[in-house]
Amino acid sequence: MHILNSLLQEQINKYQGETPIPEYLSNFLSIVSETYEHYEKDQKLLGDVLNSEGNGKEEAVAHQEHLEISQQIAHIGSWELDIENLEDTSRNRLAWSDETYRILGFEPGSVTPSTEVFFSRVHPEEVELMRNIVKDAVTNGQPSNIEYRLLLPDGMEKFILARSETLVDPKTKAPLKLSGTIQDITDRKKAEEELRIANNELRTLFENMQEVFFSVDMETFQQLQMSPACEQVYGYPREAFIENPNLWYEMILEEDRHIISANDPILFAGQSVINTFRTRNKDGKIKWLEVKITPTLNKEGKLIRIDGIAADVTKRKEVENALRDSEYKFRSLIENNSDAIMIINENAEIVFSSNSLFRITGYHPEDVIGIPNITFIHPDDIISIQKSREDLLSNPGKTNTIQYRRRRKDGSYIWCESIATNMMEDPIMHGIIINFRDITERKEYIEALKASNEDLKKIKMEMDRFVYSISHDLRAPLTSMLGVLQLIQSEVTDTLVLSDLQLIEGSIKKLDGFILDILDYSRNSRLEIKLQAVCFNDITNEVMNHLKYMGKGKTTIDIRVDINEDLYFYSDKGRLTIILNNLISNAMRYCNPEVAHPFVEINITSTSREVNIRVKDNGIGISEENQQKIFDIFYRVSSNSIGSGLGLYIVKEVVAKLSGSIQLQSSPGKGSEFSIHLPNLVNV
């Protein structure tokens, strides 16, 4: 067992001075030490028992069993080979302890120990090496200390630590016995491999981590460790911090250095601290750093070392600042919004209210928190509010808009428009969000507008009756007067009387034309557009038939018509008739008597998308200063003008009704040209 003692001493020497000894080795050394102590005691007791009388054999067996248990606990087996009588094959020259059997994968006593049985368990790659070692030990008595592998039949691979020594004859120096131990160190090897991998990973992490890991000896203030990331974070290499241990502090902005000194007492008390401050890097840029420091105190409580990690948190700080600014803007928006914002919980109680509530209702937010919202609703509106809430609760995420009356603090009621959204499933809001505003003035305006509309409806009805009266009650007498006048003209031969009768006839026709203009204006303003297929040839012929007796003295006006139309143009036929009738009649009415060949040109080009109407004449023309005024209602160039002052105004209104446009080009003494552009109403 002195081999175990040597093994123990070797492991202790190997880790002498290391603090702390690895846990797996500490456990191993404890087991070996305990086993060695038991072994020494058992050996002494075994010798005493063998030399004693009585039941010594029973005690020897008991102590031998105790030794086997100790070996099993330590996973250390022992063996012994008789070298002196090695050639005598009649005797069993090799002995194994029970634990040796187990380590080699046998049940104790199940096989006869032999070198060949042993080599059957040695890993094929290790057989030649082990045979040479055994040969040297037998031949030359060389002690050995080696690690090798076993390969068991089930494929399990074990790592073995083997030690052997040779017992020699003191006189002849000839080898007598070869003794040794084998220890199953598979778990230890695995632990060492895992530790090696972990160390490599830790080293890789240390070399590549973005954060700076550092250690400082607080007695000498020297840098013990500084990871390569320092150059990325600080802008300086590790050597710079070793040369100047105070460099990290010098880089801190002066206004942030108090953060370090404020936390020093915590460090000296043995507690970890987190410092967040700004530094000015080598390139002059300012960065935010977050440094976590863990102190180490000695037995006397003195700070002897600090270990820490410094991380660049500039981007995080920028995000935090942006978030803080955003939150401030959002809160300012909430607090200064003219609308009030509330959150109602599942019990319909108010759990949040913006300050805007005070401006609208006179209540401060703290006045309403915890109170059911329905408390402030007008009794007549409670049912509609409850129905809206039930609808929201059954439809997560839904939004409802409702108008109701809400009580102010002074007891009066105001009309509110509320937009409510169910956010019960939102883990942050967990309620119904209500945004409402005071619409009392708008409601009053709407009510006034309704009243005005009713008045307008009455006025419209009265206007319709008035127009009907003009159409029938006024035009009928004029028609009768024209009939009587024509009878008188047929019987009178006196030229003077006939001249007077013609003046009367002209006045009657002028009055009738004025009435017709009023009717056209009324129809355009009151009646909806009647969409129908338009044939411009038919409309133009109808207008020309109506105006064929219109003339001025004996002057003959040349009417030129050029129509190029698409069969699929749609508009309001009646309104198009009004446009052409007014433009053509004006051109004929204001022809120039001094022109040898007066004319009126009507050019119409229509497609499935639009129509362009052009009415051109060589009449008296319109001065530039009057061209913008002729479209005004009742505007007449002079008191001697023939028309009523309504014709072109009506044309302008009809064109606007049909979503079109009108332009005028005119020169006094040379004539005028009206150009009208109208869209096909099917495409509008």
Q: Convert the pLDDT of each residue in 257-286 to its tens digit.
A: 999 889 889 999 999 999 999 999 888 899
Strands ordered across the beta sheet of 610-617: 558-564, 599-606, 610-617, 671-679, 661-667
Crossing angle of helices 573-589 and 536-546, in 10° steps, is 50
109: left (phi over 0), alpha (psi -120 to 50) or beta: left
What is the distance between the alpha carbons of residues 677 and 86, in angstroms, rounded to a whole number?
131
Question: 2-178 adopts what CATH topology?
Answer: Beta-Lactamase (3.30.450)
What is the distance between the alpha carbons of residues 222 and 359, in angstroms, rounded to a whole number?
65
Q: Quick one: tokens of 435? A: 């945004």
Residue among 440, 392, 394 nearest 420 (CA): 392
Output the pLDDT for position 414. 93
What is the distance between the alpha carbons of residues 586 and 651, in angstroms, rounded to a whole number?
11
Output the pLDDT for position 66. 61
Provide mean pLDDT across the span 218-244: 87
**DSSP, res 75:** T
What are the beta bridge partners of residue 181? 78, 163
Q: Which of 124-133, 254-263, 527-536, 572-581 has the lowest mean pLDDT?
A: 527-536
* End-to-end alpha carbon distance in the chain: 111
CA angle 611, 612, 615 (to 5 degrees): 135
pLDDT-based confidence at 44, cuts 50/70/90?
A: low
Instruction: Between 599 and 468, name the one with better pLDDT.
Output: 599
| Three-state secondary structure string covering 213-230 | EEEEECCCCEEEEECCCH
Q: Which of 222-231, 306-315, 640-649 has the lowest mean pLDDT?
A: 640-649
Output the pLDDT for position 40. 53
pLDDT tens per residue, range 142-183: 778 889 999 999 989 999 998 888 887 778 777 778 888 899
Provide mean pLDDT across the span 412-434: 90
- Give the homologous superfamily in CATH for domain 528-679: Histidine kinase-like ATPase, C-terminal domain (3.30.565.10)
> Are 612 and 677 contacting, i.e. CB atoms less than 8 angstroms apart?
yes
What is the distance between the alpha carbons of residues 627 and 613, in angstroms, rounded to a whole number?
19
pLDDT exceeds cutoff 80 at 116:
yes
Instruction: Between 282 and 516, name the one with better pLDDT.
Output: 282
Output the pLDDT for position 603. 93
pLDDT exceeds cutoff 90 at 614:
yes
pLDDT exceeds cutoff 80 at 294:
yes
pLDDT exceeds cutoff 80 at 430:
yes
pLDDT exceeds cutoff 80 at 464:
no
What is the distance between the alpha carbons of residues 163 and 111, in angstroms, rounded to a whole number?
23
pLDDT-based confidence at 335, cuts 50/70/90?
A: low
Give yes or no on whether 2-178 and 337-438 have one common fold: yes
Provide mean pLDDT across the span 249-260: 92
User: Given 3.40.1710.10, 3.40.50.150, 3.30.450.20, 3.40.50.300, which CATH number is that of 337-438?
Assistant: 3.30.450.20
pLDDT-based confidence at 4, cuts 50/70/90?
A: very low
What is the distance between the alpha carbons of residues 153 and 123, in angstroms, rounded to a whole number?
11
What is the distance between the alpha carbons of residues 334 and 344, in angstroms, rounded to a whole number?
17
User: What is the amino acid identity at position 501?
Assistant: L
pLDDT exceeds cutoff 90 at 498:
no
What is the distance between the alpha carbons of residues 648 and 626, in angstroms, rounded to a whole number?
13
Provide mean pLDDT across the span 602-625: 89
Q: Quick one: tokens of 226? A: 């500084």
Q: Helices in 297-376 by DSSP H: which ranges?
A: 314-336, 356-361, 365-368
Three-state DSSP at 233 gives helix
φ/ψ of 529, rounded to 5, equals -65, 130
What is the distance between the alpha carbons of residues 482 and 504, in angstroms, rounded to a whole number?
9
> Are 621 and 670 contacting, i.e. CB atoms less than 8 angstroms apart?
yes
What is the distance between the alpha carbons of residues 8 and 40, in angstroms, rounded to a whole number?
14
Residue among 325, 130, 131, 310 nearest 235 (CA): 310
Most confident of 410-424, 451-465, 478-492: 410-424
pLDDT-based confidence at 641, cuts 50/70/90?
A: low
Architecture of the domain defined by 442-526? Orthogonal Bundle (1.10)
Output the pLDDT for position 130. 86
pLDDT tens per residue, range 206-220: 666 778 888 899 888
> Whole-number mean pLDDT of the chain?
80
Instruction: Between 64 and 115, name the one with better pLDDT.
Output: 115
Domain positions in the chain are: 2-178, 209-319, 337-438, 442-526, 528-679
φ/ψ of 156, rounded to 5, equals -70, 135
> Are 73 and 65 contacting, i.e. CB atoms less than 8 angstroms apart?
no
Three-state DSSP at 549 gives coil
Q: Please state which CATH class domain 209-319 belongs to.
A: alpha beta
Pairing outcome for strands 558-564 and 599-606: parallel
φ/ψ of 618, rounded to 5, equals -115, 40
What percent of the chain clears pLDDT 70, i.e. is strictly above it?
78
What is the distance between the alpha carbons of residues 42 and 19, in angstroms, rounded to a whole number?
34
Q: How many CB atoms lie within 10 A of CB 310?
A: 23
